[in-house]
A = this chain, B = another copy of it.
Amino acid sequence: MTTTDLLSRLRGRDWRLSAQRRAVAEVLVGDHVHLTAEEVHELARSRLPEISRATVYNTLNELVAMGELGVVDVVDGPRRYDPYVTAHHDHLVCDRCHTIRDVPRTTALPQVADDARGGFLVTGVEITYRGLCPDCAARYGR
């Protein structure tokens, strides 16, 4: 199953697609990618050397606000941006080296009990599994 990629989705949007924004979008390709802003900047520069850090941040923030990009927060270290928003999936995060791995969401979506919701409007749910990646488990965990 091929999911529509970020850049194609953006064409169908009312959003000016400048050279800078295109460079950012072109870099965020693939379903299992979790880049930092710094990595996006680095990669975008290889296409458009003069692109600035501010524009990268601006663009990433806009894409997140548009729902075209997800954010994964690793607690330690910079946020990561996830272009795979077309299907729900969860994340496995290594507590040691902060590697992220996608895992499909098999279980039914957990729900908040009505009596615990207390007027809160729930719009989404994130499941984060924590542990040690194979490398760190070998070196460290038992």
Chain A, 93-122, contact with B by CB distance < 8 Å: what is the 0/1 string? 011000001011011001111001111111
For chain A, the count of residues having a C-beta within 8 Å of the partner chain is 38
Which of A4-12, A45-53, A130-138 is found at the contact surface with chain B? A130-138
**A72–B33 CA distance with the chains assembled, in angstroms:** 24
Please state if A120 and B131 are interface contacts (CB–CB under 8 Å): yes
CB-CB under 8 A for A104 and B116, given A73-B73, A137-B121: yes
Please state if B104 and A92 are interface contacts (CB–CB under 8 Å): no
Residues of chain B lying within 8 A (CB to CB) of residue A121: 131-132, 137, 141
Verify if A126 is at the interface (C-beta below 8 Å from B).
yes
Residues of chain B lying within 8 A (CB to CB) of residue A54: none
**A94–B126 CA distance with the chains assembled, in angstroms:** 13
Q: Report which of B103, B112, B130, B134 forms a contact with A119, defined as CB distance below 8 A.
A: B134
**A48–B107 CA distance with the chains assembled, in angstroms:** 48
Interface residues of A in 69-89 (CB under 8 A from B): 71, 73, 75, 79
Please state if A128 and B130 are interface contacts (CB–CB under 8 Å): no
Residues of chain B lying within 8 A (CB to CB) of residue A134: 118-120
Q: List 5 A-B contacts (CB under 8 A).
A: A71-B75, A90-B110, A106-B111, A106-B113, A122-B130
